[in-house]
Amino acid sequence: MPDVLISTIVPAVNLLDLLYIPLGLVTAPLWLRKRREGWDERFGHVDAMFDPEEIDTDLPCIMLHSVSVGEVNALRALVPMLSGKAHVFVSSTTDTGLARARSLFGTLDHVSVVRYPLDCSWMVKRFLNAVQPDMVGLVELEVWPNFIKICAKRGIPIGIINGRISARSYKGYRKLRVLLRPTFARLDFACVQDEQYAERIEAMGVPNERVQITGSMKWDSISTEPNTEPSERAKTIAREMGLDLTRPIVVAGSTGPDEEGLMHESVPDDVQLIIAPRKTERFDEAAVAVPGCVRRSSGEQGRGATRFLLDTIGELSAVYELADLVIMGRSFNDQYGSDPIEPAASGKPVLIGERHSDFQVAIELLTQSGGLRVVERNQLGRVVGELLGDADLRAHMGRSAQDCVQAQQGASGRHMDVLLRAVIRPDEGA
């Protein structure tokens, strides 16, 4: 059979592909349990990002990859900054991340949203042929070997932005350091959040001269303009849920397993509690843990109720505006914490559990400012009661949290400068 015919029937594969294929087959029963969409796109079948007749060829095309909702949110300030200076397309892996990217950036000029492909080489090549980026920024730490290798071979600058490696993740990466070092060494730049992350990135193989500390863009992800009352969107949600804005409201954000019941028990029965699980697949489980709760998805008004379940996507930011006190979940079990920056930026006093190593730096800064408290699980009810009984203390914590966020802002602008400097327009056909 002629080689040309073989190549059209069987895609060229490399050693990594030969590992991915059996691994995918073995793990298929696990990832097929959750309904996932966009399989054509996951295999690299995407449309060209921009209409060739409308695209401004003087502007570079910058791709920003954010794996899921949290990373997409970190781009909220950066993408509008780049729009007009470049054609920007935001990629995401998960269905929820893609939906969030479309809601945030779908109406911006010079911005498109696309699903990121699986890392098999022929899928990556198919994707890059359609998208044709002039450079790629990977949000936080999304280093897939084939994608990075192929970008490097095509002369497309690629690097990490808003980089971080938690202590837990670093332990795993170190075990594979020999295998991953060539991938990290191919990165053209690594913009990381702090000195500790810089040391870990360098240890994985990124040359020192390519690493710079630019801070965290998550501090920029929400406005810190002082608001005397909730936005119209937040008021609409409150009205539709049947919340009484004249009475105290506690929001438990991004909760995990074994936490909804804890929140229910720790907040007084006569105080309105809104629980927002981190994972959509846990909504029903959370509802069982909080008997009689009013589910947002039901469309019912819960006038007179005190327990509410926010089982929707994209509304937690607005609900934080309604809070008198915020408790961050995934920190009272074994899930390493949730990001407290958003409620802090809204000027809310924040409580978080002792297990928060994934967000250690932000929590240390907010704790030092007086805007956040770390609370033991068995002390949560007592501290909630203390703060609900002291409006002045809550106000002081909220102001301190917001001041801390404002002091840390500016990373998005620094990242924009790095990205625009890193763009190298490849020769036609490269």
Give catalytic residues, as residue numbers: 71
Burial label for 353, CB within 10 Å (0-12, 13-18, 19+), is buried
Give the chain's largest Cα–Cα span.
81
288 token code pair: 């069982």
Q: Residue holding tokens 């192929």?
A: 150
List % helix, strand, coil for the chain (3-state, nearest 5). Answer: 45, 15, 40
Among the listed residues 351, 301, 282, the one whose alpha carbon sits nearest the alpha carbon of residue 323? 351
Q: Which amino acid is at 21?
A: I
Q: Residue holding tokens 């022929």?
A: 122
From edge to edge, which strands make up the β-sheet containing 135-139?
Answer: 111-115, 87-92, 61-65, 135-139, 158-163, 189-192, 211-213
Q: Are 89 and 112 in contact (CB under 8 A)?
A: yes
Q: Are 126 and 103 in contact (CB under 8 A)?
A: no
428 token code pair: 């036609």
Q: Is the dihedral of CA 346, 352, 356, 361 positive or negative?
A: positive
Angstrom distance (rounded) from CA 359 to CA 331: 10
233 token code pair: 């969107």
Cβ-Cβ contacts under 8 Å for 230 (sequence gap 6 or more):
238, 245, 318, 321, 322
Could you give the 3-state DSSP secondary structure of residue 228?
coil
Q: Are 187 and 382 in contact (CB under 8 A)?
A: no
Angstrom distance (rounded) from CA 14 to CA 405: 46
